[in-house]
């Protein structure tokens, strides 16, 4: 019988992700020599070379790619064993690994934490804020239980639960007060400031403005909505933000906020998880708590 340990598989997975022994060791909270020893022992046990090593980078061999696929399946199964154990417990308790996209997290998370903390005091919530593509990958690998993001995803392996919809609003410099709200054709010709590529909110804004491709004309790519709003306040251009972000992002910037005429642009926000997740029934309860949080926040806007 091949004596491969879960520790070795986790270190193998980390090195495959990072492509660098030092960074992989850091993510695993061990020393680089210790990681190297475990990887070498794994290769010796399997009788194959898993990585091509160079001075600056390591990359998977062909057989390493195949082994990685199976290793991640094994690691996911182990994670689901833990989920199954948690699902057997009475009530909602233990660790909940929740992902949230950056255009939702700063505005909704405080309300979510209050609501879930009140409704499920035994729940230990770990939050991961990052882009949709990363959240989906980490859910697929069993590293997240669920994620809050924009719908639809149309992924047959995921359960999607609608939480709420919200409009996008237009943010302009305060000097534009009194000017008519631009329509889509006018907006198309203005300097539109957007989030950098990878944010789903960017794609939704481009779609509404009928701007093809991935880069708006004469635009500016920001890393956060806060940056975009501050740039608008300096007279650089205009931007779109979700309605939930208005009170937070515009309070310290000389800007005005306008609503578009119907049909206004909007997004659907939902919570998703793997259909195979043993915690599915519990996650339905969590989703209801998140929906309650969103309603509480909407009532304050």
| C-alpha span between 291 and 243 (Å, rounded) | 16
- Determine the average pLDDT of the residues in 18-34: 90
Could you tell me the pLDDT band of residue 179, with boundaries at 50, 70 and 90? confident
- Total Cβ atoms within 10 A of residue 179: 10
The number of C-alpha atoms within 13 Å of 212 and in the hemisphere containing its C-beta is: 0
- The secondary structure of residue 214, as a DSSP letter, is S
Question: Each residue of 238-281: pLDDT tens digit?
Answer: 999 999 999 999 998 999 999 988 888 889 999 999 998 888 88
Kindly state which CATH superfamily the domain 165-266 is placed in.
Periplasmic binding protein-like II (3.40.190.10)
Q: How far, in Å, are 18, 63, 203 from residue 60 at the CA level?
A: 11, 8, 33
Domain locations in the chain as residue ranges: 6-84, 93-159+269-300, 165-266
Helix axes 21-28, 32-46, angle to 10 degrees: 100
Instruction: Note the pTM of the prediction, 2 decimals.
Output: 0.73
- The secondary structure of residue 103, as a DSSP letter, is T
| C-alpha span between 46 and 69 (Å, rounded) | 15
Question: Do residues 255 and 232 lie in contact, with contact meaning Cβ atoms separated by under 8 Å?
Answer: yes
pLDDT at 191: 87
pLDDT at 1: 63
**6-84 CATH choice from 2.40.160.20, 2.60.120.380, 1.20.58.100, 1.10.10.10:** 1.10.10.10
Q: Name the average pLDDT for the chain.
A: 86
Question: Do residues 132 and 270 lie in contact, with contact meaning Cβ atoms separated by under 8 Å?
Answer: no
Question: Do residues 61 and 50 lie in contact, with contact meaning Cβ atoms separated by under 8 Å?
Answer: yes
With a CB cutoff of 8 Å and minimum separation 6, the contacts of 205 are 168, 192, 194, 240, 265
pLDDT at 90: 56
Cis ω for the linkage preceding 294 (within 30 of 0) = no
Same fold, 6-84 and 93-159+269-300: no
- Determine the average pLDDT of the residues in 196-211: 78
Estimate to the nearest angstrom the gap between the alpha carbon of 81 and the chain centroid: 24
pLDDT at 214: 45
Question: Each residue of 96-123: pLDDT tens digit?
Answer: 899 999 999 999 999 999 999 998 888 8
Question: Each residue of 50-94: pLDDT tens digit?
Answer: 999 877 788 899 999 999 989 888 888 887 777 666 666 656 677
**93-159+269-300 CATH choice from 3.30.360.10, 3.40.630.40, 2.60.40.3880, 3.40.190.10:** 3.40.190.10
- Residue corresponding to tokens 């094994």: 74
């Amino acid at each position: 019988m091949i004596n491969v340990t879960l520790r070795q598989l986790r270190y193998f997975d980390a090195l495959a992700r990072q492509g660098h022994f030092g960074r992989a060791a850091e993510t695993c909270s061990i020393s680089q020599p210790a990681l190297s020893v475990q990887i070498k022992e794994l290769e010796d046990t399997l009788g194959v070379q898993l990585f091509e090593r160079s001075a600056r980078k390591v990359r998977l061999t062909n057989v390493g790619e195949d082994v990685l696929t199976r290793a991640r399946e094994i690691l996911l199964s182990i994670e689901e064993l833990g989920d199954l154990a948690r699902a057997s417990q009475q009530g909602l308790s233990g660790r909940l690994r929740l992902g949230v996209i950056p255009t939702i997290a700063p505005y909704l998370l405080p309300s979510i934490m209050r609501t879930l903390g009140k409704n499920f005091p035994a729940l230990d919530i770990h939050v991961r804020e990052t882009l949709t593509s990363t959240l989906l990958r980490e859910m697929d690998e069993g590293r997240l239980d669920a994620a809050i993001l924009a719908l639809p995803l149309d992924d047959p392996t995921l359960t999607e639960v609608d939480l709420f919809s919200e409009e996008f609003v237009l943010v302009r410099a305060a000097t534009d007060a009194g000017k008519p709200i631009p329509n889509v054709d006018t907006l198309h010709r203005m300097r539109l400031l957007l989030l950098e590529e990878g944010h789903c909110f960017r794609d939704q804004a481009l779609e509404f403005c009928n701007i093809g491709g991935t880069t708006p004309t004469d635009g500016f790519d920001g890393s956060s909505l806060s940056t975009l709003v501050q740039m608008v306040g300096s007279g650089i251009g205009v931007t779109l933000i979700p309605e939930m972000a208005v009170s937070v992002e515009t309070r310290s910037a000389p800007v005005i906020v306008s609503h578009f005429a119907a049909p206004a642009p909007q997004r659907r926000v939902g919570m998703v998880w793997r259909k195979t997740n043993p915690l599915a029934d519990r996650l339905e309860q969590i989703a209801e708590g998140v929906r309650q949080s969103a309603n509480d926040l909407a009532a304050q806007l």
